[in-house]
Structure 1
Amino acid sequence: MSEVMRKSGIEQQPNSAKEERTKTSRRKFLKGAAAASAGAAGLAGFPMIARAQQTITMRFQSTWPTKDIFHEYALDFAKKVNDMSGGRLKIDVLPSGAVVKAFDLIDAVHKGTLDGGHGVSAYWFGKNTAYSLFGTGPTLGMDANMLLAWVEYGGGKALYDELQHKVMGLDVEGFLYGPMPTQPFGWFRKPIKGLADMKGIKFRTVGLSIDNYKELGASVVAIPGSDIVPSLDRGVIDAAEFNNASSDRLLGFPDVTKHCYLQSYHQPCECFEVLFNKKKYDALPADLKAIIRFAAQASSADMSWKAVDRYSQDYIELQKAGVKFYITPKEILEAQLKAWDKIIDEQSQKNPFFAKVVESQKKFAQRAGKWNLDTNVPMDLAYDHWFGKVNPRLKA
């Protein structure tokens, strides 16, 4: 103790006691600060947690009736998005006609009447002929998977976006997915033998295929899938094409006709289209946008596998129901290819963007097509080896 402090009567506390009191005071301060901080974090964190769990619901409509397998594919896509988002994004899919007619879907999505929809590019052919090239054009020797390869890696997606946003001014965000096999030439009320039988026949198709069948001599109308069978039944049309064994069976084709011609160049392949209202899509966080994109890719694989399983089963069921399948006569196939030459020239002159898309497809198809034909072994030889010859009626 210092001499001054001793004389003044002030007792100096030991350093240890002083330090202990300081530590106690600091502990109380820190404890109080921690409690206050935790309370503030709790108040601030609660709404953040609520926002993380909030579900964004989007109202979708397909262009397909409920019973069509295509509507099932739309539901499959939605389920993948819903599951992968962990409940943060929910796509509710309604069937064709629930809000708007099938051919009015893209306008409803553009305006925001619907948040999105599921269809095919051919349905918007009347707005711009180039749109049909993204699924229902000549495809220049490519199958549907190769067409989607062009979309993803050959410059097709950039052209698709340019067409929608710059050329057509549509407020939509689109995704092409789901490779489809070659579509039947058509269901006919009575058998056909050759090109001459196509003259004047009243035929249903959509997209650029309209021009192709017109070149064959048909009188063509475009109607949605749900209206085809009733129109055939009433004699409004003489023949029609839609897509595949499962859809055709479920829509009721075998109830009104028993003659179906397989293989055609009018739609050697096709793919689906998922549309979103662009404002609503752009407002989504980056991870939900990625989920949508990858759900489309996953749906491509899943759909192609399901199609092999279901179409092959329904192909058998159609034959059990008395449907007679034929290979489309060769002269018709050759006439279709010549028709495409004329259509490409005419549309390219009328629509510069059409020419731009075709040129891009040609560059990709020439390279990818040669690789495909040189590399992949013909499967008919192997099938004949293990299972025998197919029905002679199906030989061209």
Structure 2
Amino acid sequence: MQRRSVLQQSLMAGAGAATLASPALAQSNPAIRWRMTSSFTRVLDVTYGAADYFCRRVSELTDGQFQIQQFAAGEIVGGLQALDAVQQGSVEAAATGALFFIGKDPTFALAAATPFMLNPRQQHAWLWQQGGNEMLNEFFANYNVVAFPFGQTGNQWGGWFRNEIRTVENLRGLKMRVAGLAGNVMQKLGTVPQQIAPGDIYPALERGVIDAVEYIGPHDDEKLGLNRVARYYYYPGWGEGGTVFHGMFNKEKYEALPRLYKTAIAVASEASTLMMMSAYDTKNPDALMRLLASGTQLRAFPNDVLAALYRSTEEMYNEISATNANFKKILEAQIAVRDRNYAYHQVADFQFDAMMLRLRRR
């Protein structure tokens, strides 16, 4: 009898604790609904899809309490206005590439990709293991933004051209859509760079507003139909060894989130980064085969053209660093990672790849 009384008291106490725990949990994890604008259109299934994947993961990790809805470029604001919308609080978040905003500060490009710099392995090592994310967010705070990497394209291609590029002279006067600081480099060699949102690239090329275009790689370029307008497809992608896309969040809104929701953003961001890179590694090889079958002509940039681009890049880095302390600080950190990493990988992964290519050719 006494034991039954003790058991009943324990169950009643447990029931009371559960009654108290439920509203307490609801208070600590409130229902929150955010909007995320994108710099990408829905047809770009990997870049747009990675952000959709991110939103789903955030919802799953918070039992549906924190939901973020993505909107394609143009549905709320234009693709190149994504940062402004987040900064001003018009939307809480954006899926975008930081290199689209070099007009505000060239330092933005260092968050995504810059010419002759980091490849994806080096980027990820710097971002997650060597303080890169923290360093970038110190800079992003100037724009009322907190950012997390949530996409990686891998090496981007050199671009589509109507005519062959045989000498540096062939770059002069060329009107080219090219993102980030690669456009500044090409401008030094006489090219006229254009910043055009992804959804507007094909019409500009078709109408002759531009003569050439660099976007991402075979999968996306085929989806945009660039091979229908330009014949020559160039490699290597010297301007973007690997490109990181970001989720950008209004700083005030982000800082007001419960800790669990902040953790969900961080975890989902890393997951979507891996998802995007694996998706491109899966889709690009097949897309390239289809492009070649349709008549696309692969071309390698001549060595003297690459050398001229490299010299122009070094000049540009020195010029910007002389007047921009944020740029100089982050660039120097990345250069240290790049050079140390190549010193190792020239006798590790790169040798393995070279060996496999040589043996497979036999």
TM-score (normalizing by structure 2): 0.90
Structure 1 residues 332-378: Cα deviation after superposition (integer angstroms, max 9, x where no partner)? 11111111110011101121221111111122222222112222224
- For 1:110, the equivalent position in structure 2 comes to 87
Mapping 1:254-265, distance limit 5 Å: 254-265=227-238
- For 1:55, the equivalent position in structure 2 comes to 31
Mapping 1:1-396, distance limit 5 Å: 47-48=23-24, 50-51=26-27, 54-68=30-44, 69-138=46-115, 140=117, 142-165=118-141, 169-376=142-349, 377-388=351-362
Return 5+ residue gaps in structure 2 as ranges.
Answer: none
Which structure: larger Rg?
Answer: 1
Q: Pairwise CA RMSD of aligned residues?
A: 2.5
Deviation at 1:44, TM superposition (A): 5.3
CA distance in structure 2 between the partners assigned to 1:49 and 1:147 by the alignment: 38
Return 5+ residue gaps in structure 1 as ranges.
Answer: 1-22, 389-396
Alpha-carbon distance change, 48 to 331 in structure 1, aligned in 2, over 3 angstroms: same
CA distance in structure 2 between the partners assigned to 1:382 and 1:252 by the alignment: 33
How many pairs were matched up?
356
CA distance in structure 1 between the partners assigned to 2:358 and 2:335 by the alignment: 33
Instruction: Report if the CA contact (8 A) 1:155-1:360 is conserved.
Output: no
Deviation at 1:55, TM superposition (A): 3.0
Letter in 2 for 1:159: M
Letter in 2 for 1:385: L
- The share of aligned pairs that are identical, in percent, is 25
TM-score (normalizing by structure 1): 0.83
Structure 1 residues 229-286: Cα deviation after superposition (integer angstroms, max 9, x where no partner)? 1011001110010011111111111221221112132222211111111222112211
CA distance in structure 2 between the partners assigned to 1:53 and 1:127 by the alignment: 36
Alpha-carbon distance change, 137 to 40 in structure 1, aligned in 2, over 3 angstroms: same
CA distance in structure 2 between the partners assigned to 1:345 and 1:283 by the alignment: 39
Deviating 4+ runs (over 4 angstroms): 37-46, 49-54
CA distance in structure 2 between the partners assigned to 1:375 and 1:360 by the alignment: 23
Alpha-carbon distance change, 221 to 88 in structure 1, aligned in 2, over 3 angstroms: same
